[in-house]
Chain A
Amino acid sequence: EVQLLESGGGLVQPGGSLRLSCAASGFTFSRYAMSWVRQAPGKGLEWVSLIGGSGTGTDYADSVKGRFTMSRDNSKNTLYLQMDSLRAGDTAVYYCAKDRCSATSCFFDSWGQGILVTVSS
């Protein structure tokens, strides 16, 4: 059974930093791309970033580009999101999500339970 467990959230002041982790189990971690998706309180879902299975390719939403850095340690089956220069608008529940690709497209087939990040003074 796929399990994804986020940690590292909490309250941080504007301009501060936080690092999220996502511990994965139940699948061959290095074979799958992974994403972070966030959800502001009472709002919809927003894709944040993606990293390839080997860790060499990453991409980011424009809203976080230059401030967030996604990485992974395949030896530890763990995903990371380093968040710097945080703003109030980054307040959200952050989910890590596992990629799966059919013959034609990719989608998020497993999600963690989410971790809350609150940016406030």
Chain B
Amino acid sequence: EVVLTQSPATLSLSPGERATLSCRASQSVSTYLAWYQQRPGQAPRLLIYDASNRATGVPARFSGSGSGTDFTLTINSLEPEDFAVYFCQQRSVWPPSFGGGTKVEIK
């Protein structure tokens, strides 16, 4: 099973700042990586697929990059609704696996 390690566990930032979230895979997953946002009390929402493609309706301030084992989710100019937990997920190697999450909180 591929283990995805997300860092940091918590990111404390102010609205308008940039957030940089990391996801590292225990083995190569090529670009088969997705990112999800989960607001408190809500279901996860797809943000990014294939490492860098924004899902429908996702604002342009969200961007993804990386390949192989190292991936980054960047949120430019944080909006109040962006304070949430973010998970990465791979399906390159079966079974699908998720990272432990990064919580982006208001500083």
How does the 8 Å CB contact mask read for B23-54 relative to A, with 1 for contact and 0 for none?
A: 00000001110101000001111100110010
- At the interface, yes or no: B76 with Cβ under 8 Å from chain A? no
Instruction: List B contacts of A107 (CB < 8 A).
Output: 34, 46, 49, 89, 91
Return B25 CB to nearest CB of chain A, in Å: 13
Can you name the residue of chain A whose Cβ is closest to the Cβ of B46?
A109
How does the 8 Å CB contact mask read for A65-79 relative to B, with 1 for contact and 0 for none?
A: 000000000000000
Interface residue SS majority, chain A: strand
Q: Are B43 and A105 in contact (CB under 8 A)?
A: no
Q: Are B49 and A44 in contact (CB under 8 A)?
A: no
Interface residue SS majority, chain B: loop
Q: Size band of the B side of the interface?
A: 20 to 34
Q: Size band of the A side of the interface?
A: 20 to 34
Instruction: List B contacts of A114 (CB < 8 A).
Output: 43
- At the interface, yes or no: B99 with Cβ under 8 Å from chain A? yes
Which of A61, A105, A110 meets B32, CB within 8 Å? A105
Q: Are A111 and B50 in contact (CB under 8 A)?
A: no
23 A-B residue pairs with Cβ-Cβ distance under 8 Å, sorted by A, are A35-B96, A37-B44, A44-B98, A44-B101, A45-B87, A45-B89, A45-B101, A47-B96, A47-B97, A59-B95, A95-B43, A102-B49, A102-B53, A104-B50, A105-B34, A105-B91, A106-B91, A107-B34, A108-B34, A108-B36, A108-B44, A108-B46, A111-B45
Q: Residues of B at under 8 Å CB distance from A? A: 30-32, 34, 36, 42-46, 49-50, 53, 55, 87, 89, 91-92, 94-101
